[in-house]
A and B are shown apart, each in its own frame.
Chain A
Amino acid sequence: MHLKKDLELIMANVYEAVIGLEVHAQLSTETKIFCSCQARVESGKTEIPVNSNTCPICAGHPGVLPVLNKKVVEYAIKAGLATGCEIRLVNIFARKNYFYPDLPKGYQISQYENPICENGFLEITTKDFIKKKINIQRIHMEEDAGKNVHLAEFSLVNLNRAGVPLIEIVSGPDMRSAEEAGAYLRALHAILTYLDICDGNMQEGNFRCDANISIRPQGAKEFGTRTEIKNVNSFRFVEKALEYEIKRQTDVVQSGQKVILETRTYDSDQGITLPLRSKEEAHDYRYFPEPDLIPLQLSQKLVEEIKDTLPELPSQKKERFIRDLGLSSYDASVLTSSKNLALFFEKAVQKLVLKGWNILEASKPVANFLTGEVARLLNDENIEINQSKLQIDHTVDVVTAAKDGLLSSTGAKQVIAMAWKNGDSVNAIIEREGLRQVSDNNVLEQIVEKIVANYPLQVTQYLSGKEKILGFLVGQAMKESAGKANPVVIQDLFKKKFKGDHNASS
């Protein structure tokens, strides 16, 4: 919290941050980009045996030739179309040369001068509901490297990941705060998962982010010296790493020193960034056109065909939720921020509609649950809704029980929280926890009588026109019922009783 306050003060007065992000997204194709080895590891599945998905091509044996996976091109085009990019029809690949044991060929096949997608953008909404356009400079196709395990005396190399297709998405230096960077990443993540071209699991490395950040005096035109923060594996950590880095760079500059151009890593335990041991020489990748791949020629017709297959994107879904389901802009934003959450919402509403609910009446309470209690739980545990124990039926049953007066709003929240924990059915939880809201008039009338007897002064005040005191009496009745009474019924009973008494006494 301190860091955040400090930051706001610093940034408001003197400096502004300039942030650009590079995202590496693994494409969810079955096979690798240049060979037919299996590429995709389904989320949560136990790790496939070391080096089992390898062949002479992805292991970089001499004399082999790469053959491009059609689906990789299609997915890259989808990403470009969904972010308003121009699609380049003649593509060449390039070699990026460097030595590292996880890169068996000694070069990575990538794209350099002419990426497949260029000049796109996406729109983010900041916390203050301000919309901002973030440019996407380029999206290009490339291959992933393998993985190294470093031991004391030697290193071990697993090439299962070598050759897994990636798209690298490069933003403009357009973000001015950690929060904007987080919003951009979430929006991009949502687009790729809606397109179903990336599994999007950050912990498993499907969606990786490098952040370039510098600070400069407010109003300055030139950029300051930047640092690059590598491979941070959650949205929240990216934001925290950037907040820390803004503060650190500001301190460096204010103490009269200079920011050093370097690569840093984020230590999530300490909440700080640390310099990665810098290599002696600057990178000298010596890009040149990949001689093993002839230029890729695409037709405008193919691009149009792919355009026709694009699904409803987050921004379109959000507009539809507002327009057709009557949701608030906030609710629609939260629900569409994740494909899984949006689907969960739509399926729950659909079930209620099948039970005879009006679609507008069904949408509002389901949205309330998902954007309130459930969003909080998802956020706390940093998971997607399909990774939780909460089922669509839980939501449907809770909403139905609340409408039928069997659950108070507090009770409904409790049920959701318990279903979240153990996955039990809504009815089972209501019975076990005694959460059934009492709407039975006989029981409630007794409570009302008791409260009237216990608080004669307040009753007199009410009868003499001080109607606000009713809230107090209802509150006492709720307390008496241990929160189980239906407050609407209680209030009606009080009114009925006082009206009756009034009539009787006059």
Chain B
Amino acid sequence: MFTVNEDLTRKIAHLARLHLTEDEVKTFTSQLREIINYIELLEEVNVSGVKPLTHPFELETPMREDKISHYPKTNEGKSKILDSAPEILYDSFKVPSIISGE
């Protein structure tokens, strides 16, 4: 088992790319500990012989036929998906530099 401490909170925050203040680290560490403790109650249940459940409904996933259907295009023939981008350049989504500063 692992211990819920401030380092763990910082690690999880980093994985989620969240920036926490030191006060927040303290708050969330105690909240995380409470949540984990609560979930650990499940450890008391005897699950021997019970199959793992990944989804509560006994359904089959529906499947699609392999047929193309294009998302609407703008008058200039470009995908409307670009309309929702904060910044576009050469029809690409413009994002902060990935390589430098790494």
Contact = CB atoms under 8 A, between A and B. Distances in A.
Interface stretch (B21-29, B34-42, B93-101): B93-101
B15 A284 contact: yes
Interface in A294-325: 294-297
17 contacts: A37-B68, A52-B73, A54-B81, A55-B81, A59-B81, A69-B64, A70-B63, A97-B15, A154-B89, A155-B97, A156-B92, A156-B95, A157-B92, A279-B102, A295-B61, A296-B60, A297-B60
A100 interface: yes
Nearest to B66: A71
Nearest to A34: B64
B69 to A, nearest CB: 4
B93 to A, nearest CB: 4
A149 interface: yes
Nearest to B73: A52
Across the A-B interface, the 6 shortest Cβ-Cβ residue pairs: A156-B92, A55-B71, A36-B69, A71-B66, A289-B54, A157-B93
Contacts, number: 130
Of A30, A99, A295, most B-chain CB atoms within 10 Å:
A295
A402 B69 CA distance: 54
A295 B51 CA distance: 13
B2 interface: no
B63 A157 contact: no
Given A50-B90, A68-B64, A291 B55 contact: yes
A394 B97 CA distance: 53
B13 interface: no
Contacts of B94: 154-157
A206 interface: no
Interface string B43-83: 00000000000110101111111111111010001110110
Given A150-B97, A152-B100, A291-B55, A49 B91 contact: yes
A426 B98 CA distance: 55
B60 A294 contact: yes
Interface in A208-236: none
Contacts of B99: 150, 155
Given A92-B54, A291-B55, A294-B55, A155 B63 contact: no
Contact of B61 (A150, A279, A293): A293
B15 to A, nearest CB: 6
A468 interface: no
B15 A286 contact: yes
B3 interface: no
Interface residues of A, number: 51
Interface in A27-45: 29-31, 36-38
Contacts of B14: 281
A51 to B, nearest CB: 5
Interface residues of B, number: 39
Interface of B: 14-15, 17, 54-55, 57, 59-71, 73, 77-79, 81-82, 84, 89-100, 102
Contacts of A293: 61
B93 A289 contact: no
A55 B70 CA distance: 8
A61 B68 contact: no
Contacts of B98: 100-101, 148, 150, 155
Q: Is the interface of B mostly helix, strand, loop or mixed?
A: loop
Contact of B92 (A37, A50, A53, A289): A50
B75 to A, nearest CB: 14
B67 A295 contact: no
A275 interface: no
A56 B81 contact: yes
Nearest to B100: A152
Contacts of A381: none
B67 to A, nearest CB: 6
B68 A36 contact: yes
Nearest to B72: A55
Contact of B93 (A101, A152, A281, A294): A101
A51 B92 contact: yes
Contacts of B102: 277, 279
A273 interface: no
A401 interface: no
A151 B60 contact: no
B66 A30 contact: yes
B92 A295 contact: no
Interface string A149-165: 11111111111000000
A488 interface: no
Nearest to B97: A154
A153 B14 CA distance: 24
A153 B97 contact: yes
B82 A51 contact: yes
Given A151-B97, A277-B102, A293-B61, A56 B66 contact: no
Contacts of A296: 60-61, 63
A382 to B, nearest CB: 30
A154 B17 CA distance: 19
A56 B92 CA distance: 15
Contacts of A53: 70, 79
A147 B100 CA distance: 17
A31 B82 contact: no
